[in-house]
Structure 1
Amino acid sequence: MIRGLSILAWRLGALLTLALGLVGIVVPGLPTVPFLLLAAWCGSRGWPRLESWLLAHPRYGETIQHWREHRAIPRKAKWAATAMMALSSASLWLWPAPTALRIALPAVLVCVACWIWQRPDR
Protein backbone atom coordinates (compact mmCIF):
# COMPACT_ATOMS: atom_id res chain seq x y z
CA MET A 1 0.00 0.00 0.00
CA ILE A 2 2.82 2.40 0.84
CA ARG A 3 4.45 1.61 -2.51
CA GLY A 4 1.20 2.50 -4.28
CA LEU A 5 0.95 5.81 -2.41
CA SER A 6 4.55 6.57 -3.24
CA ILE A 7 3.97 5.98 -6.96
CA LEU A 8 0.82 8.11 -6.81
CA ALA A 9 2.74 10.95 -5.14
CA TRP A 10 5.51 10.81 -7.80
CA ARG A 11 2.90 10.79 -10.57
CA LEU A 12 1.08 13.76 -9.06
CA GLY A 13 4.40 15.60 -8.79
CA ALA A 14 5.19 14.77 -12.42
CA LEU A 15 1.77 15.97 -13.59
CA LEU A 16 1.94 19.18 -11.58
CA THR A 17 5.40 20.12 -12.84
CA LEU A 18 4.51 19.08 -16.39
CA ALA A 19 1.45 21.35 -16.21
CA LEU A 20 3.59 24.24 -14.96
CA GLY A 21 6.03 23.61 -17.80
CA LEU A 22 3.19 23.71 -20.32
CA VAL A 23 1.94 26.98 -18.85
CA GLY A 24 5.51 28.29 -19.16
CA ILE A 25 5.33 27.79 -22.92
CA VAL A 26 2.70 30.52 -23.25
CA VAL A 27 3.37 32.75 -20.23
CA PRO A 28 6.37 35.03 -20.68
CA GLY A 29 8.78 34.95 -17.77
CA LEU A 30 7.67 31.53 -16.49
CA PRO A 31 10.39 29.01 -17.32
CA THR A 32 9.50 25.82 -19.16
CA VAL A 33 12.57 23.59 -19.09
CA PRO A 34 13.18 23.58 -15.30
CA PHE A 35 9.65 22.30 -14.78
CA LEU A 36 10.13 19.67 -17.48
CA LEU A 37 13.40 18.60 -15.83
CA LEU A 38 11.51 18.17 -12.58
CA ALA A 39 8.68 16.31 -14.34
CA ALA A 40 11.19 13.88 -15.88
CA TRP A 41 12.82 13.37 -12.49
CA CYS A 42 9.48 12.66 -10.81
CA GLY A 43 8.54 10.42 -13.72
CA SER A 44 11.72 8.39 -13.31
CA ARG A 45 10.53 7.47 -9.83
CA GLY A 46 6.88 6.75 -10.50
CA TRP A 47 5.99 7.02 -14.18
CA PRO A 48 8.64 5.61 -16.54
CA ARG A 49 6.44 6.08 -19.64
CA LEU A 50 6.17 9.81 -18.98
CA GLU A 51 9.92 10.03 -18.43
CA SER A 52 10.56 8.21 -21.73
CA TRP A 53 8.14 10.52 -23.54
CA LEU A 54 9.89 13.61 -22.17
CA LEU A 55 13.35 12.26 -23.06
CA ALA A 56 12.18 11.52 -26.62
CA HIS A 57 10.43 14.88 -27.05
CA PRO A 58 11.66 16.53 -30.27
CA ARG A 59 12.08 20.00 -28.75
CA TYR A 60 12.94 19.47 -25.06
CA GLY A 61 14.27 15.90 -24.91
CA GLU A 62 17.83 16.79 -25.89
CA THR A 63 17.99 19.58 -23.29
CA ILE A 64 16.78 17.21 -20.56
CA GLN A 65 19.33 14.57 -21.58
CA HIS A 66 22.19 17.11 -21.64
CA TRP A 67 21.21 18.30 -18.16
CA ARG A 68 21.12 14.75 -16.82
CA GLU A 69 24.41 13.72 -18.38
CA HIS A 70 26.53 16.87 -18.05
CA ARG A 71 24.47 19.38 -15.99
CA ALA A 72 24.68 21.51 -19.15
CA ILE A 73 22.57 24.58 -19.93
CA PRO A 74 22.49 25.83 -23.54
CA ARG A 75 24.07 29.25 -24.06
CA LYS A 76 20.84 30.61 -25.54
CA ALA A 77 18.97 29.60 -22.37
CA LYS A 78 21.65 31.24 -20.22
CA TRP A 79 21.21 34.53 -22.09
CA ALA A 80 17.41 34.29 -21.88
CA ALA A 81 17.49 33.58 -18.15
CA THR A 82 19.95 36.41 -17.52
CA ALA A 83 17.81 38.85 -19.53
CA MET A 84 14.64 37.85 -17.66
CA MET A 85 16.37 38.23 -14.29
CA ALA A 86 17.66 41.67 -15.27
CA LEU A 87 14.21 42.67 -16.46
CA SER A 88 12.67 41.44 -13.21
CA SER A 89 15.18 43.37 -11.14
CA ALA A 90 14.65 46.53 -13.16
CA SER A 91 10.88 46.25 -12.95
CA LEU A 92 11.06 46.35 -9.15
CA TRP A 93 11.93 50.02 -9.43
CA LEU A 94 8.86 50.75 -11.59
CA TRP A 95 6.33 49.25 -9.18
CA PRO A 96 5.74 49.84 -5.49
CA ALA A 97 7.86 47.33 -3.60
CA PRO A 98 9.47 47.22 -0.18
CA THR A 99 13.06 48.44 -0.09
CA ALA A 100 14.25 45.11 1.33
CA LEU A 101 12.81 43.32 -1.69
CA ARG A 102 14.40 45.81 -4.07
CA ILE A 103 17.77 44.97 -2.56
CA ALA A 104 17.40 41.26 -1.78
CA LEU A 105 15.88 40.03 -5.03
CA PRO A 106 18.57 41.43 -7.36
CA ALA A 107 21.25 40.06 -5.02
CA VAL A 108 19.71 36.58 -5.16
CA LEU A 109 19.27 36.80 -8.93
CA VAL A 110 22.94 37.76 -9.39
CA CYS A 111 23.89 34.61 -7.45
CA VAL A 112 21.56 32.52 -9.61
CA ALA A 113 22.99 34.06 -12.79
CA CYS A 114 26.54 33.30 -11.63
CA TRP A 115 25.54 29.68 -10.96
CA ILE A 116 23.88 29.39 -14.38
CA TRP A 117 26.92 30.75 -16.21
CA GLN A 118 29.20 28.29 -14.39
CA ARG A 119 27.34 25.33 -15.92
CA PRO A 120 28.79 23.87 -19.13
CA ASP A 121 27.10 24.82 -22.42
CA ARG A 122 26.88 21.35 -24.00
Structure 2
Amino acid sequence: MKFIYLAIAYLALAVAFLGVVIPGLPATEFFMLAAWAAAKSSPRLHHWMMSHRLIGPPLQDWQNGGVIRLRVKLLASLSMALVATLLVWQVNHLPSVIFSLAGMSCGALWIWSRPSALKVNAEPRVQRCSEPS
Protein backbone atom coordinates (compact mmCIF):
# COMPACT_ATOMS: atom_id res chain seq x y z
CA MET A 1 0.00 0.00 0.00
CA LYS A 2 2.89 2.35 0.72
CA PHE A 3 3.95 2.19 -2.94
CA ILE A 4 0.41 3.00 -4.10
CA TYR A 5 0.18 6.01 -1.77
CA LEU A 6 3.59 7.19 -2.95
CA ALA A 7 2.54 6.87 -6.60
CA ILE A 8 -0.64 8.83 -5.85
CA ALA A 9 1.41 11.51 -4.07
CA TYR A 10 3.85 12.02 -6.94
CA LEU A 11 1.15 11.86 -9.62
CA ALA A 12 -1.04 14.37 -7.74
CA LEU A 13 1.97 16.63 -7.18
CA ALA A 14 2.79 16.56 -10.91
CA VAL A 15 -0.80 17.39 -11.86
CA ALA A 16 -0.87 20.16 -9.23
CA PHE A 17 2.22 21.82 -10.68
CA LEU A 18 0.66 21.54 -14.15
CA GLY A 19 -2.46 23.18 -12.69
CA VAL A 20 -0.38 26.16 -11.64
CA VAL A 21 0.48 26.95 -15.26
CA ILE A 22 -2.50 25.55 -17.22
CA PRO A 23 -5.65 27.65 -16.93
CA GLY A 24 -8.71 25.66 -15.91
CA LEU A 25 -6.75 22.79 -14.34
CA PRO A 26 -7.08 23.01 -10.56
CA ALA A 27 -3.94 22.91 -8.44
CA THR A 28 -5.15 23.20 -4.86
CA GLU A 29 -7.08 19.95 -4.77
CA PHE A 30 -4.13 18.03 -6.19
CA PHE A 31 -1.69 19.59 -3.69
CA MET A 32 -4.05 18.49 -0.90
CA LEU A 33 -4.30 14.97 -2.33
CA ALA A 34 -0.51 14.80 -2.67
CA ALA A 35 -0.02 15.91 0.95
CA TRP A 36 -2.50 13.31 2.19
CA ALA A 37 -0.88 10.50 0.19
CA ALA A 38 2.65 11.64 1.14
CA ALA A 39 1.71 11.60 4.82
CA LYS A 40 0.82 7.92 4.41
CA SER A 41 3.89 6.95 2.38
CA SER A 42 6.84 9.34 2.53
CA PRO A 43 7.73 11.46 5.58
CA ARG A 44 10.43 13.14 3.49
CA LEU A 45 8.04 14.22 0.70
CA HIS A 46 5.40 15.26 3.24
CA HIS A 47 7.97 17.35 5.11
CA TRP A 48 9.07 18.99 1.85
CA MET A 49 5.49 19.89 0.97
CA MET A 50 4.60 21.20 4.42
CA SER A 51 7.82 23.23 4.61
CA HIS A 52 7.61 24.65 1.09
CA ARG A 53 7.38 28.44 1.23
CA LEU A 54 4.42 28.63 -1.19
CA ILE A 55 2.37 25.47 -0.80
CA GLY A 56 3.20 24.70 2.84
CA PRO A 57 1.24 27.46 4.63
CA PRO A 58 -2.09 26.78 2.87
CA LEU A 59 -1.71 23.03 3.50
CA GLN A 60 -0.97 23.68 7.18
CA ASP A 61 -3.94 26.05 7.43
CA TRP A 62 -6.20 23.39 5.96
CA GLN A 63 -4.90 20.74 8.38
CA ASN A 64 -5.41 23.13 11.29
CA GLY A 65 -9.15 23.40 10.96
CA GLY A 66 -10.05 23.81 7.30
CA VAL A 67 -8.83 27.41 7.27
CA ILE A 68 -8.75 29.35 4.00
CA ARG A 69 -7.12 32.72 4.58
CA LEU A 70 -8.89 35.91 3.58
CA ARG A 71 -6.25 36.77 0.96
CA VAL A 72 -6.75 33.39 -0.73
CA LYS A 73 -10.54 33.83 -0.66
CA LEU A 74 -10.23 37.26 -2.25
CA LEU A 75 -7.86 36.00 -4.97
CA ALA A 76 -10.13 33.05 -5.73
CA SER A 77 -13.19 35.30 -5.90
CA LEU A 78 -11.39 37.80 -8.10
CA SER A 79 -10.25 35.10 -10.52
CA MET A 80 -13.77 33.63 -10.66
CA ALA A 81 -15.23 37.09 -11.32
CA LEU A 82 -12.72 37.63 -14.13
CA VAL A 83 -13.52 34.27 -15.71
CA ALA A 84 -17.27 34.91 -15.31
CA THR A 85 -16.89 38.24 -17.09
CA LEU A 86 -14.97 36.61 -19.93
CA LEU A 87 -17.60 33.86 -20.21
CA VAL A 88 -20.50 36.29 -20.42
CA TRP A 89 -18.60 38.40 -22.94
CA GLN A 90 -17.20 35.63 -25.17
CA VAL A 91 -19.44 32.55 -24.95
CA ASN A 92 -22.69 32.60 -26.94
CA HIS A 93 -24.04 29.28 -25.66
CA LEU A 94 -26.32 30.34 -22.79
CA PRO A 95 -26.57 26.92 -21.04
CA SER A 96 -22.76 26.73 -20.86
CA VAL A 97 -22.58 30.19 -19.33
CA ILE A 98 -25.35 29.42 -16.81
CA PHE A 99 -23.81 26.12 -15.69
CA SER A 100 -20.35 27.67 -15.44
CA LEU A 101 -21.62 30.60 -13.40
CA ALA A 102 -23.62 28.25 -11.16
CA GLY A 103 -20.53 26.10 -10.55
CA MET A 104 -18.37 29.11 -9.76
CA SER A 105 -21.06 30.47 -7.44
CA CYS A 106 -21.19 27.18 -5.53
CA GLY A 107 -17.40 27.17 -5.28
CA ALA A 108 -17.32 30.75 -4.05
CA LEU A 109 -20.05 30.09 -1.47
CA TRP A 110 -18.15 27.07 -0.17
CA ILE A 111 -14.84 28.98 0.01
CA TRP A 112 -16.45 31.85 1.91
CA SER A 113 -18.14 29.38 4.31
CA ARG A 114 -14.73 28.19 5.55
CA PRO A 115 -13.03 29.97 8.46
CA SER A 116 -10.46 32.65 7.58
CA ALA A 117 -8.31 32.10 10.66
CA LEU A 118 -7.70 29.48 13.31
CA LYS A 119 -10.01 29.95 16.28
CA VAL A 120 -8.31 31.85 19.10
CA ASN A 121 -8.70 29.08 21.68
CA ALA A 122 -7.95 26.26 19.22
CA GLU A 123 -4.64 24.46 19.41
CA PRO A 124 -2.98 23.81 16.02
CA ARG A 125 -2.99 20.11 15.19
CA VAL A 126 0.05 20.39 12.95
CA GLN A 127 2.95 22.71 13.58
CA ARG A 128 5.79 23.55 11.24
CA CYS A 129 7.42 20.28 10.30
CA SER A 130 10.89 19.53 11.48
CA GLU A 131 13.34 17.50 9.44
CA PRO A 132 12.34 13.81 9.53
CA SER A 133 14.78 11.45 11.12
Pick the TM interval, shorter chain.
0.7 to 0.9
Contiguous gaps of at least 5 residues in structure 1: 1-5
Whichever residue aligns with residue 39 of structure 2, its letter is: S
Amino acid at match of 2:54: R
Aligned equivalents of 1:67, 1:105: Cα separation in 2: 26
1:39 aligns with one of 34, 38, 54: 34
Q: Which runs of 5+ in 2 are unaligned?
A: 118-133
Residue 14 (structure 2) aligns with: 19
- Structure 1 window deviating more from structure 2 (104-113 vs 19-28): it is 19-28
Mapped to 1, the partners of 2:75 and 2:64 lie a distance apart of: 22
Instruction: Report the TM-score, using the length of structure 1 for normalisation.
Output: 0.80
Alpha-carbon shift at residue 20 of structure 1 (Å): 2.2
Q: Which has the higher helix share?
A: 1
| Cα distance, 1:81–1:63 mapped onto 2, change above 3 Å | same
CA RMSD in angstroms comes to 2.1
Q: Which one of 77, 95, 98 corresponds to residue 93 of structure 2?
A: 98
**What's the counterpart of residue 54 of structure 2?**
59
Once the two structures are overlaid, the 10-residue window that deviates more, 99-108 or 6-15, is: 6-15
8 Å CA contact retained: 1:29, 1:84: no
Q: AA paired with 1:11?
A: L
Measured after TM superposition, the shift of residue 34 of structure 1 is 3.2
- Of residues 111-120 and 86-95 in structure 1, the stretch that sits farther from structure 2 once superposed is 86-95
Could you say which structure has the greater relative contact order, defined with CA pairs below 8 angstroms and 6 or more residues apart?
2
Shift of 1:10: 1.7
In the TM superposition, what is the alpha-carbon distance from 1:28 to its structure 2 partner? 5.2
Q: Specify the alignment match of 2:123 in structure 1.
A: none
Task: Report the identity percentage.
Answer: 33
Amino acid at match of 1:74: R
CA–CA separation in structure 1 for the residues paired with 2:2 and 2:98: 42
